């Protein structure tokens, strides 16, 4: 039977995406992720990295990674459950638990793996997965892999959450309310205190994805749970090392029973090679650094408040952001892509976020604040945004 070559099918779909201005334009980072980086051969101010605290190139983390390579080599040689659990991995999990003020934690290779592996393990047939409508794609995919019944509540709408809890009361073995701590596109914070109160009232459990809260919210960057003073009350606290902590990897923190259960039941943990020694050592170093020094977090928020205030004074709309994620709301995908291209010419690297990552008509430039940026850096970026905004009639 004759068939259309796969490359032709994919090519046609790509052409459609291109016509709708929905294709990603990948630029190459050719230096370390620093405020002043080289991208596509051009020196630019980095304004779109998740490296909130500037730790990815911190001397302490680099020294720890190099020492780990010298002692342990480049890789672990196995999955964690066979021969790939080094003492470094155990120390990392103990450090995560200490930093988060919880009994135990399990480390995954990525944040996506943490969600994609933990949610299917925790949710069985007869359970209910109750998810905020704007949760991250890794949560959506994780829930899709479960056999649980699924329900969605309107974004941060506690009335709608309570409605679903009332309608489903007594109909499932267990209900797991799942929410981002900080929503990655708009930078708004989940009302975790209110979510917890409703969970207590209706006998539900809470799973919070704190990828963009780690290193950003709470005392010394301990995250959204600490921000709301809910330590040891939220059953499942997921996080990542690839953003505020400057390395890579995911984690789920909570009880000893939670750790042991996921270690035995999560496929992404069981069937993936363990993190390289250098990665584990750098993650440990990041947490130990923040335990003793909160200046990184304070500087991050100082920069965030200044940049938001100045953007607003120029006439830009920064949406619902409450965190260092600072969107410049532009509306149309084509305008967002043109804006990103123009500020790159001005020496500022910030990417457009367009459909389907955000809804149609909600395209934006998503800027990310960084503790390593100076006031001069911020003013340079603001000047570029002002010039381009006026040129494109965005302000």
**Separation of alpha carbons 218 and 126, rounded Å:** 35
In the chain, what are the domain boundaries? Answer: 26-52+294-391, 57-292
CA 382 to chain CA mean position, Å = 25
Given the candidates 3.60.15.10, 1.10.3720.10, 1.10.3210.10, 3.40.640.10, the CATH classification of the domain at 57-292 is 3.40.640.10
Strand partners, 352: 365
| pLDDT reported for residue 339 | 96
**What class is the 26-52+294-391 domain?**
alpha beta
**Separation of alpha carbons 330 and 334, rounded Å:** 9
> Hey, CA dihedral for 78, 82, 88, 90, is it positive or negative?
positive
Same topology, domains 26-52+294-391 and 57-292? Answer is no
| pLDDT reported for residue 359 | 82
| β pairing state of 104-108 and 325-331 | unpaired
14-37 per-position pLDDT tens digit: 999 888 877 888 899 999 999 999
Range 48-51 contact pairs with CB under 8 angstroms and sequence separation of 24 or more? 48/349, 48/350, 48/351, 48/366, 48/367, 48/368, 49/368, 49/370, 50/212, 50/242, 50/243, 50/244, 50/368, 51/243, 51/246, 51/370
Over residues 9-17, mean pLDDT? 93
Q: Which residues are catalytic?
A: 184, 212, 243
Report the percent of the chain where pLDDT is more than 70: 100
Tokens of 304: 């965030």
Angle at the Cα of 354 (from 348 to 355), degrees rounded to 5?
170
**Separation of alpha carbons 178 and 192, rounded Å:** 10
Angle at the Cα of 83 (from 62 to 273), degrees rounded to 5?
60
197-234 per-position pLDDT tens digit: 999 999 999 999 999 999 999 999 999 999 999 999 99
């Amino acid at each position: 039977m004759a068939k259309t070559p796969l490359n032709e099918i994919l090519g046609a779909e790509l052409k459609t995406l291109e016509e709708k201005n929905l294709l990603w334009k990948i630029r190459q980072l050719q230096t370390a992720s620093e405020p002043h980086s080289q991208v596509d051969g051009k020196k630019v101010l980095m304004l779109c990295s998740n490296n909130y605290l500037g730790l990815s190139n911190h001397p302490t983390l680099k020294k720890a990674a190099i020492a780990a390579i010298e002692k342990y080599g480049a890789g672990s040689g196995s999955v964690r459950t066979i021969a790939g659990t080094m003492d470094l991995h155990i120390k990392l999990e103990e450090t995560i638990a200490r930093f988060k003020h919880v009994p135990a934690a399990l480390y995954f290779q990525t944040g996506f793996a943490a969600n994609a592996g933990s949610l299917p393990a925790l949710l069985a047939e007869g359970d209910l997965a109750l998810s905020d409508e704007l949760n991250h794609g890794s949560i959506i995919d994780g829930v899709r892999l479960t056999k649980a019944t699924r329900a969605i509540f309107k974004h941060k709408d506690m009335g709608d959450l309570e409605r679903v809890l009332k309608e489903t009361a007594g109909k499932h073995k267990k209900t797991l309310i799942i929410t981002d701590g900080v929503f990655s596109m708009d930078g708004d914070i989940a009302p975790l205190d209110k979510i917890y109160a409703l969970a207590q009232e209706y006998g539900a459990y809470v799973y919070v994805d704190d990828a963009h809260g780690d290193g950003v919210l709470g005392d010394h960057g301990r995250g959204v749970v600490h921000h709301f003073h809910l330590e040891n009350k939220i059953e499942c606290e997921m996080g990542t090392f690839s953003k505020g902590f400057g390395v890579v990897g995911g984690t789920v923190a909570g009880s000893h029973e939670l750790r042991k259960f996921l270690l035995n039941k999560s496929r992404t943990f069981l069937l993936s090679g363990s993190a390289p020694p250098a990665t584990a050592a750098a993650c440990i170093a990041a947490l130990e650094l923040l335990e003793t020094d909160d200046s990184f977090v304070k500087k991050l928020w100082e920069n965030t408040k200044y940049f938001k205030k100045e953007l607003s004074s120029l006439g830009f709309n920064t949406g619902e952001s409450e965190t260092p994620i600072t969107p410049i709301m532009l509306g149309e995908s084509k305008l967002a892509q043109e804006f990103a291209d123009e500020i790159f010419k001005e020496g500022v690297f910030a990417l457009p976020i367009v459909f389907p990552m955000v809804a149609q008509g909600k395209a934006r430039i998503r800027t990310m604040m960084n503790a390593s940026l100076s006031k001069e850096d911020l003013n340079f970026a603001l000047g570029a945004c002002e010039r381009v905004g006026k040129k494109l009639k965005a302000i």
